[in-house]
C-alpha cells in the first residue's frame, strides 16, 4: 500500500461520514447486487460483468479503479477506441485530472463549511458525556485521556473500558450540583434574620393601658403561581387558500 501511495487511517466509530469514499463504494455495490442479482447469488456471469464495468467507471478524479490500480482500463463488453490508451493523451489527462481533483476537494470542503461550525476542542482530563449510538441518549460519562489526529477523542469510562468517539458525540459534563445547597443556605439566612420563612407574614402589637395584646395578621400571601402547560403545535392540516383573480 505504501508503494502505491495509499495511506491507511482508522475512521471514527459510528461516524460513517468520516469515511465517505468507502461508504459510497459499498452503496454502489449494494445497488449493483439489488439490480442484477436480487436473490443474492454473486456467482453469476451478469454480476461479474457488472462488477467489471464498475471497476472501469471513472470516479470524481477522472480515473477508474482499474486505472488507479493497474494503470489502464480493463477489457469489457463496452467498446473502447485505441486512442484512449495513447501515451500523450494519457499524460495530458492525468495532469488535468490531478488539478480537477484538487479543485474538487477544495470546493467540497468550502461547501461543507458553509453550513457547519467548529466545536470547542476538549483538553485531556475533561469529564464528558457520551451519546449512545442506539438510544441516542447521553447516558454514559467518561473522561478524555487522549486526542487523535482527527477530531476524535479517546474516552475512558469508570468501568475501565476505553473507546474512540468523534467530537460530535461528546459533550462537556456540566456540574449542576449546588442548587439544593443554595436553597438551604437561603433558608438558614432567613432564620438567622428572625424570619420564619413564610412570605408575606408579619406581626403587629398594640398597647392599651397596662395590658399588652398581640394581634397576628393572617397570611395574605397569594397562592403559589402555577406555570401554564407548554403550548403544543396543532396536528390539524391547514388547507391552502387559493385566490383566483379574474
CB 18 within 8 A of CB 10: no
Do β-strands 127-130 and 211-216 pair in parallel, antiparallel, or remain unpaired?
unpaired
Structure-block grid coordinates of residue 148? 487523535
From residue 136, give the alpha-carbon distance in Å to each of 55, 131, 169, 175: 38, 6, 9, 21
Residue 96: its pLDDT value, please? Answer: 72
60-64, 139-143, 167-171: least confident range: 60-64
Nearest to 138, CA basis, from 113, 172, 112, 104: 172
The fold for domain 127-172 equals: SH3 type barrels. (2.30.30)
Q: What is the C-alpha to C-alpha distance for residues 29 and 167, in angstroms, rounded to an integer? A: 30
Structure-block grid coordinates of residue 129? 458525556
- The label of the residue with cell 469529564 reads 127
pLDDT band at residue 156 under the 50/70/90 scheme? very high
Q: What is the C-alpha to C-alpha distance for residues 10 and 19, in angstroms, rounded to an integer? A: 9
pLDDT at 145 over 90: yes
Give tens-digit pLDDT for 86-144: 655 667 667 777 777 777 777 777 887 788 778 888 999 999 999 988 888 998 999 99
Residue 179: its pLDDT value, please? Answer: 43
pLDDT band at residue 155 under the 50/70/90 scheme? very high
From residue 51, give the alpha-carbon distance in Å to each of 28, 48, 58, 61, 65: 10, 5, 13, 20, 11
Q: What is the C-alpha to C-alpha distance for residues 91 and 219, in angstroms, rounded to an integer? A: 94
Task: Name 213's bridge partners.
Answer: 206
CB 167 within 8 A of CB 131: no
Most trustworthy range by pLDDT among 1-5, 43-47, 224-228? 43-47
pLDDT at 237 over 60: no
In this predicted model, which residue has the larger pLDDT, 19 or 31?
Answer: 31
Q: Where are the domains of the chain?
A: 16-114, 127-172
Amino acid at each position: 500500500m505504501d508503494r502505491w501511495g495509499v495511506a491507511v487511517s482508522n475512521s471514527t466509530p459510528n461516524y460513517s461520514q468520516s469515511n465517505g469514499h468507502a461508504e459510497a463504494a459499498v452503496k454502489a455495490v449494494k445497488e449493483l447486487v439489488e439490480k442484477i442479482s436480487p436473490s443474492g447469488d454473486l456467482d453469476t456471469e451478469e454480476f461479474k460483468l457488472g462488477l467489471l464495468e464498475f471497476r472501469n467507471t471513472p470516479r470524481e478524479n477522472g480515473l477508474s479503479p482499474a486505472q488507479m490500480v493497474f494503470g489502464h482500463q480493463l477489457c469489457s463488453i463496452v467498446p473502447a477506441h485505441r486512442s484512449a490508451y495513447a501515451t500523450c493523451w494519457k499524460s495530458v489527462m492525468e495532469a488535468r485530472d490531478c488539478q480537477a481533483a484538487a479543485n474538487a476537494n477544495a470546493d467540497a470542503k468550502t461547501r461543507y463549511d458553509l453550513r457547519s461550525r467548529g466545536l470547542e476542542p476538549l483538553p485531556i482530563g475533561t469529564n464528558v458525556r457520551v451519546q449512545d449510538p442506539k438510544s441516542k441518549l447521553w447516558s454514559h460519562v467518561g473522561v478524555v485521556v487522549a486526542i487523535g489526529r482527527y477530531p476524535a477523542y479517546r474516552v475512558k469510562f469508570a468501568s475501565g473500558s476505553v473507546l474512540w468517539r468523534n467530537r460530535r458525540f461528546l459533550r462537556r459534563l456540566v456540574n449542576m450540583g449546588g442548587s439544593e445547597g443554595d436553597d438551604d443556605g437561603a433558608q438558614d439566612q432567613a432564620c438567622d434574620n428572625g424570619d420564619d420563612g413564610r412570605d408575606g407574614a408579619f406581626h403587629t402589637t398594640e398597647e392599651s393601658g397596662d395590658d399588652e395584646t398581640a394581634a397576628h395578621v393572617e397570611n395574605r400571601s397569594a397562592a403559589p403561581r402555577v406555570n401554564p402547560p407548554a403550548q403544543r403545535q396543532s396536528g390539524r392540516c391547514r388547507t391552502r387558500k387559493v385566490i383566483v383573480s379574474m
